[in-house]
Structure 1
Amino acid sequence: MKVNQEVQIRDPFVFVDRKQGKYYLFGSTDKNIWGKGIGFDVWVGDDLKQWQGPYPVFRPDIEFFSDENFWAPEVHAYNGSYYMFATFLLKDSGKRGTAILKSDLLTGPFHPHSDGIVTPEDWFSLDGTLHIDKEGKPWMVFCHEWVQIGDGEICTVRLSDDLKKAIGNPVTLFAASEAPWPTSFQHKTRNTQKNYVTDGPYIYKAENGELIMLWASFVDNVYAQGISRSTTGDVTGPWVHDAKPLFKSDGGHGMLFHDLQGQLHLTLHSPNKTPNERPIFIRMIEHDGVLRRADDE
């Protein structure tokens, strides 16, 4: 058993198995996620404090289309199976994108389901997440990376009902600079322009029916977690942005979930430096779409 401070993980994603009374903690689990990809592991626990594992859930075969940057796996239940949305760096083009894997078990093994990535092949993209709309149709929300366009964007695209491919062209929802809280930075070698990061989108339907998006960026070079809101209740927006970040203490790429007792939690990784990143769990209070930390009361 390991406690949270012993678990190195980035981009934590919790699947709550209410039938078994267990939590499955997925995330970027390679010791050095910036280099060669080993795979993805899962940790299993029953109290968000102690974890068994790690258990391997994905290991690529020799023909897999990527061998670097295995990032940000999310696992969603859909039509009786489990689907993993994860980011990979492509061997042939050197671009990043999100692909979809599938398993019949939360503990895997997960195998490629989509035919390669489902984000545009000529884009640097990452952090795809699944959203099911009011009509039961699947969408993927993802980031168009700042490394390619400077002002990072969050986009969405319709998926086929079997989650094997994208349908139509992506729709840009907003750019990072449109929100009031992220700040720009200049990269020493990549370019000299002002850059803004978009990272780790996650869609959450509030108790009042409002559609909320969590996403991460930087404030004065410190990793932070913010919130945007759809004015229509549809994933295509338009989206408006909270004035201040939800969390700005060197943590981000978060998601929201209700625990086995119904308590709302925010999980994210902090700090944002390898190999020190750890999963953080914060009890949240939700009132009329407004989220705040329970310990702020």
Structure 2
Amino acid sequence: MRLPGMPLHDPYVVADAASRTYYLYTSNVPSLTGVEGAGTMVYRSADLREWEAPVVVFLASEQEGGWATEGAWAPEVHERAGRYYLFTTLHNEERRLGEGTYMRGTVTAVSDSPLGPFTLLDPSRPVPPAHLMTLDGTLYVDRDGQPWMVYAHEWLQTVDGTMEAVRLTGDLSGAVGDPVHLFRGSDAFWLNEQIPPGLPHRLPPYVTDGPQLLRAPDGALLMLWSTYEKNVPGEDGSLTGDYVQTYAVSESGRLTGPWTQRQPLVRGDSGHGMLFRAFGGELMMILHRPFENARGKLYEMALDGHELRVLRQRTDLDGD
């Protein structure tokens, strides 16, 4: 399989040096895996060009006592002490939080293999506070070795979406203490949408999506994230506009910032990207484009101090 023919939303790559294998995680597509239900599947490749057919590594419906069986968005996998931890966002529309909102949040699951099966560490609730409508949780470990989950607090609940973080227990099964505010979607200075009428505080809906953190060589902390330009809310509460891949920098190197926003890296209905190192040493970014019927796009990147830029799209790999 090649990337142009692979359904791929919210892609996440694990480059496993020991096996020289790239694991590419995304939400389950039953027509490809033959397995029904919300969950996570993984493609595998030795060269980022040719990929094996996907296999399912997690199914929400198989988790005993689970609070949700819908969603399974934005999966990512992290290796810690020889075990593999899956972060993915579930939701349950029957558990209402308020008008137009319902339970949504990131869960953690564990396996002894990157191929799963992954089992929820706490099936009773998401990791961020359950009364908050959140998504796209990612793992960050600070300089003291403290693990955190960084996540997006939904614009559906806040209008002006935010990035927040919460400390995790050592086994990543739950949260410790209250969330910490990092920044707002409206902090991106280049967002100049028209303000739709009738919204609270007359703010446009600012989206925060897809955080991922990277330590720069100079000690600064970078966060990839995505949002929409020119948001227009539809009657069903959804947004139309241009999905974009951008990033922010904490020059202090602290998760708490202060965070300053940079210009978008990629526009054209592209986003929810993540960075990884290829086996040849190149810094790579994978994202999906377009938002609907998404496919994976690969970019070779440069990190100059704490400034990130695109060197070239790898059309030899992604075919477009």
TM over 0.5: yes
Task: Look up the match of 2:207.
Answer: 197
Cα deviation for residue 43 of structure 1 reads 0.3
Gaps of 5+ in 1: none
Aligned match of 2:307 in 290, 294, 297? 290
Amino acid of the residue matched to residue 281 of structure 1? L
Are 2:287 and 1:268 equivalent residues in the alignment?
yes
* Deviation, structure 1 residue 54: 0.6
Cα deviation, 1:179-211, whole Å, max 9, x if unaligned, reads 112344778999785210000000011222221
Q: Which of 186, 203, 217 is the equivalent residue of 1:207?
A: 217
1:217 is aligned to: 227
Distance, in Å, in 2 between the alignment partners of 1:52 and 1:64 is: 30
**Gaps in structure 2 of 5+ consecutive residues:** 97-101, 231-240, 314-320
CA deviation map 1:224-259 (0-9, x unaligned): 0111011320111111111x1111121100111110
Cross-structure match for 2:104:
96
Distance 2:311 2:140 in 1: 27
- Aligned partner of 1:74 in structure 2 is 76
Q: 2:312 and 2:208 mapped to 1: Cα distance?
A: 28
Whether 1:13 aligns to 2:18 is no
Comparing 15-24 with 277-286, greater Cα deviation is found at 277-286
Structure 2 Cα separation of the partners of residues 42 and 107 of structure 1: 8
Q: Report the CA distance shift for 1:27/1:185 in structure 2 as closer, same or farther (over 3 A).
A: farther
Structure 1 segments of 4+ aligned residues over 6 angstroms from their partners: 185-192
Report deviation, 1:289.
1.8
Q: Which residue does the alignment assign to 2:87?
A: 85
Q: Would the aligned equivalents of 1:8 and 1:29 in 2 still touch at CA under 8 Å?
A: no
Alignment-mate amino acid for residue 55 of structure 2: Y
Percent identity, aligned pairs only? Answer: 38
Please state how far the C-alpha of 1:287 moved relative to its aligned partner.
1.5
The residue number in structure 2 matching 1:241 is 261
CA contact (8 A) 2:285 2:300 kept: yes
* 1:125 CA displacement: 0.2
What's the CA shift for 1:286?
1.7
Alpha-carbon distance in 1 for matches of 2:160, 2:117: 37
Instruction: Provide the TM-score with structure 2 as the length reference.
Output: 0.85
Alpha carbons of 1:174 and 1:237: their partners in 2 closer, same or farther (altered >3 Å)? same
- Equivalent residue of 2:10, what SS? strand
**CA distance, structure 2, for counterparts of residue 37 and residue 202 of structure 1:** 26
Distance 1:29 1:278, change over 3 A: farther
Flag the 1:147–1:184 CA change in 2: closer, same or farther, 3 A. farther
Post-superposition Cα deviations, 1:21-54, rounded to whole Å, max 9, x if no partner, equal 000000223369xxx9431100000111111021
CA distance in 2, matches of 1:22, 1:189: 51
Q: 1:190 to 1:50 in 2, by over 3 A?
A: farther
TM-score (norm 1): 0.91
